[in-house]
């Protein structure tokens, strides 16, 4: 069974840092792109960033407003994806989802499996 | 950035109704359009990729169509389990962007 389990969320003060983890199982981790998507309380979905797969050298892409503060990485020995978040602001308060992406019928990568999410609260 | 606009932002419908949600892109995205369903307190679920391809396990009452800048999600006969918020998302180019969501409520 394909499974994504996020952890690492919690309460952090403005200006602080946090690292989220996503443990992947049930599929070949290196074959897939992986995304982080967040959802502020009562709001819609916002793409945070992506790690491509082995064939694409695990390159990363980010939404422009977060680039420089947020960083995505992988640990292949642990089949895990990470989101390092620095200089956190109150507006970063959200549920953060880890999402797998798989090639569609046109071989473009599309999100297909979502984790349950982990909650980050930035507050003093 | 490509802006995705969904309409309506909410709708009320009855069990058995046919429901259509529209998603418009600010520029052409070919067929790189996905739909997701989210129920309260749950993670989103993937419904459709590449405009019209149902994800594994998604019932055939869901269908998608469109191309270029205008797309639709149709639920042929609304059931109690379909009351949720639906999001479209383009994946033609970075940054990936979502529509604002359409909340489908019980009439």
Out of A37, A44, A111, the one facing B100 most closely (by C-beta) is A44
Q: How far is CA B4 from CA A77, A90, B67, B71, in A?
A: 38, 25, 13, 10
Question: pLDDT at position A67, please?
Answer: 81
What is the percentage of chain B residues whose pLDDT exceeds 90?
Answer: 98
Residues of A in contact with B87 (CB under 8 A): 44-45
CB contact under 8 Å between A110 and B99, yes or no, is no
Q: Identify the band that residue B36 occupies on the pLDDT scale cut at 50, 70 and 90.
A: very high
Question: pLDDT at position A78, please?
Answer: 96
Q: How far is CA A46 from CA A38, B17, B89, in A?
A: 5, 30, 10
Residues A20, A3: Cα–Cα separation, whole Å:
16
- Residues constituting chain A: 124
Mean pLDDT of chain B: 97
Q: What is the pLDDT of residues B1-34, one digit of tens each?
A: 999 999 999 999 999 999 999 999 999 999 999 9
Interface of B with A (CB under 8 A): 1, 31-32, 34, 36, 38, 43-46, 49-50, 53, 55, 87, 89, 91-92, 94-101
Average pLDDT over residues B48-77: 97
Q: How far is CA B101 from CA A8, A12, A69, B9, B87, in A?
A: 27, 29, 27, 6, 5
Question: pLDDT at position B56, please?
Answer: 95
Residue A117 contacts B, CB cutoff 8 Å:
yes
Which residues of chain A have a pLDDT value below 70? none
Q: Cis peptide leading into B8, omega within 30 of 0?
A: yes
Residues A119, B51: Cα–Cα separation, whole Å:
31
Out of B45, B92, B98, the one facing A44 most closely (by C-beta) is B98
Residues B97, B91: Cα–Cα separation, whole Å:
7
Residues of A in contact with B32 (CB under 8 A): 104, 106, 108, 110
Asked if residue B42 has pLDDT above 90, the reply is: yes
Question: pLDDT at position B45, please?
Answer: 98
DSSP B76: S
CB contact under 8 Å between B89 and A113, yes or no, is no
Question: pLDDT at position A1, please?
Answer: 96
Asked if residue B86 has pLDDT above 90, the reply is: yes
């Amino acid at each position: 069974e394909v499974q994504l389990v996020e952890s690492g969320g919690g309460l952090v003060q403005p200006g602080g840092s946090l690292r989220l983890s996503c443990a992947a199982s049930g599929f070949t981790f290196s074959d897939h792109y992986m995304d982080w998507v967040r959802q502020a309380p009562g709001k819609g979905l916002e793409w945070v960033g992506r790690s491509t797969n082995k064939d694409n050298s695990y390159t990363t892409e980010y939404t422009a407003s977060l680039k420089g503060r947020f960083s995505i990485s992988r640990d292949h020995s642990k089949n895990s994806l990470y989101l390092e978040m620095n200089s956190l602001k109150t507006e970063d308060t959200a549920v953060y989802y880890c999402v797998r992406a798989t090639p569609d019928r046109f071989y473009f990568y599309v999100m297909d499996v979502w984790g349950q999410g982990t909650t980050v609260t930035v507050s003093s | 950035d490509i802006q995705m606009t969904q309409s309506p932002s909410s709708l009320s419908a009855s069990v058995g109704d046919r429901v259509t949600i529209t998603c418009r892109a600010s520029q052409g995205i070919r067929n790189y359009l996905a739909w997701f369903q989210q129920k309260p307190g749950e993670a989103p679920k993937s419904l459709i990729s590449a405009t019209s391809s149902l994800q594994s396990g998604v019932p055939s009452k869901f269908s998608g169509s469109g191309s270029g800048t205008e797309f639709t999600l149709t639920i042929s006969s609304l059931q109690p389990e379909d009351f949720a918020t639906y999001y479209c998302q383009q994946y033609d180019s970075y940054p990936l962007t979502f529509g604002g969501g359409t909340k489908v409520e019980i009439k």
